[in-house]
Structure 1
Amino acid sequence: MTMSFLPGVHRGKYMRYDTAVILKRFYLCEKMTVIAQAGWLPGIPYFEMKTLLPKILWEDAMTANALRERVFELRFPSRILEVGEDQGLIDLLEYARHAPNALAFLTALSKVLKPAMLRAYETYLELADEIGDGPTYRFMKLAIDEKYQQIETLNQHIDRYAAHEEPAELERAEQWVKELQTHLDRLGGIGLDSPKAAGAELKPGKPFEPLEVPARDQKFCNVRFYWPDNVDPAFPYGSGIQLQLRSAVSHLNEVWAVENAGHVLYSFADELGWEFIYDAARWVYDESRHCRMGYERLKSWGFAEHELPLGTYIYDSCKGQDPIYRLGMLFYFESKNIGKKLDRVKNFESMNDRMSQHDMDFDWADETIHTSYGKKWLSAVLERRGKNPDDYTEIKDVCEQITAKTVQTATPEEIAQIIDIANKIIAKASSL
């Protein structure tokens, strides 16, 4: 007797386990890219990209987290995410950190790495089943939209930077990006199939490390101390217009926190793992938003970049220190200043300064989150080092000491310079 069966309807090429293998590869690629972008933040001089790249890496972290959780769902009950056959691809993405300059790294993102991920996601969705694999389908569609926007943002700014770059540096960047693309092509790109053998060993030289002295945009007035009260207790924080300006300049100068949070993410990524990277990516992004808050307020009041001071002294204070003190510095300043922010909200409301009030209100909400990040991850590092995870006294004391030591190095010329800059800003605002 001949048995007959109903025909199977073709709906989706990949079964559950095959899907998990592909999504695991995508997660690892996004994770490595997040770490590289964070590590490069101190080394990027361009203000726009120093404050826009954090949003990009945060979006990537959100995508990576969705991929990771989906892999766990598909592999339940296993929670193992081994690199396995994707090692060649991961090695290449680690090699991508070793760009010869910031322009090369940003170009590699826009011309090589982001387009490769975009093509991979689009190819996946062409073969995916919106019913069986609906959760993946939803977040990957969002990731595709974000990748298109990321590439557009990067290209828009890179073209301007390239036009003003030294020819030798431009040539170095172009050559390095071509070589990176060649290496990726040898692997077969980032795709649904396992990468091919690389065919050539990647030799980046010395290990990549985030810059200890941050690169800064020459459009601004680059100083170590961004307001007189950093180094001169006699200079008042002020009220009225002076408080509005001081608050805006302080927000602008959270650029140090952007750089420091990027340094911290990179430095502890391997030690603390994905949950830390995920929190730190949000921390980086939030600090960039605060920085842009101040920048946009000052621009709306008629200030040009060359009138605005960008300081480095807090970031400088951690030079040569164990990265735990960079983490501690973020936590120290968040917890130190959070209580003042609600008072500022009320002050700006009384001035009818809705913009400053709005920014400070959202800043306060972010800082409460950051305080919890600081406690959680400082405790984790301390515990790993055999110390009391609930005692931050030594961390706080060192942060205070190294900051005070840096302030003590302020020269009379630096103090006079920042007082002059501040007085000019106040005078201009008072005349509006």
Structure 2
Amino acid sequence: MIALALVLLPALGALLVAALPRAAAILQPLLCALWAALSVLLAMAEPEPGIVAADVLNLPFVLAVAFGALLLSLMPVPAEDRPWHAGVQAMLGGAMLSMLGQNMTLSWLGLEVALLGAMLPLALAAPRAGWKLFLLGGVGLGLTLFGLVAVHVAAPEALLHWPALQARGIETMDPMLLALGFVLALAGCGALLSLAPFHAWWPDTAGEAPSRIAALFPLLLAPSALHMLLRIKALAGGNMSAWSLLALGVGTMLLASLSLYRKRDAGRMLGLASMLQLGAAAAGFGLGGPAGNLAGLLILLGHGLGAAAGWVALGAAMRLKDSRRLGGISGLMAGSPGLGWALMLALLALACLPPFLPFAGAFLLLTSAGRQAPWLMPPLLLALLLGAAALARAAQRLCMGPATADAEAPPGWRVLAPAWAALALALLGALAMPGPFAALLAAAAEAAR
């Protein structure tokens, strides 16, 4: 019942915040807090079979999306922005359907709902980026659907029911069809994950859309797309699927870290930082094994927290300085120390530097690569070091450089509270992760092999 509520109730929430725009600023965090509480109850409850249900693999992703939506709901958003308020609830419901749906057709439908939920606010705020997402996201969903068709042909009697596919076993299905299904899904979900070379929509979105809209994609869409991809990878098995995901992950990391040195737009910079971490998460899952999968999960969770803090702080900084250019946003600590420190720590977290959760994941990724594929260490280290240096340089310029003129009063604690809450969770996850949650991640890493 809890899983079904997490799927259906956000649809009612979307109608509610759209119908009551004046109360949306209060309703949105209350609704998202309720969904986050339900996700915790779902993780604590005994698994129940059904058309939507929790399992070992999807629970960490469900928690990540629920708490990501809660952090987003605390951002300062105009009450009259109905598309954003409704889009958050629609994306949340679609992501929950995608992850909790026990039939993979439902999972694909959830991805489509989540994408459409993001389309309306993005298309209204940044039409060019909206059209790119419409075209590339639509192609990505189509390719993912063809991948599911290939999986269905490999095991027609299972009817794409996830437990039945798991019970049947890889050895009883046609490996060529499963490999074809994974390649198609990798291209399709890779577009939604902004993995190179399917990432063309994401830099425009990060550079043109308001921070509250750009934050929707790494926090709500990316985890559900990655979960779909991991399901198909678990079915396909074999070295081909692992090496394909690993190659795209490392290639995305290298492209994002090198591109960070060319960008002068603050939003695009933060978008490239997200690409770097999502590429690292994909590389961890491509490396495989309990350690590699755990590294991917830690990076994904840490990325969600770092991206939430980064978009909240950067949005406040862009409003404060009335500029999106890196040169126009400088000296934040001089006029607003709380904002300056929040943005600096968020960028350091996204750079995979200690003491935050992404650093723990990156360290585990490197040690796992050293044991399983030592030749992979140089490109991984190069990408991480280049990305860390670029983001540290940007943090120094934005937060500690010569102060530029302010266009409005510095933001108060209510504006910055979500950023500091996300940073506190990222710190807690690295230094003192609760035992039950650590066990949940370890079980998910084992299930994703």
Which one has a bigger Cα radius of gyration?
1
The structure with higher relative contact order (CA 8 Å, sep 6+) is 1
TM-score normalised by structure 1 residue count: 0.31
In proportion to residue count, which structure has more helix?
2
TM-score normalised by structure 2 residue count: 0.30
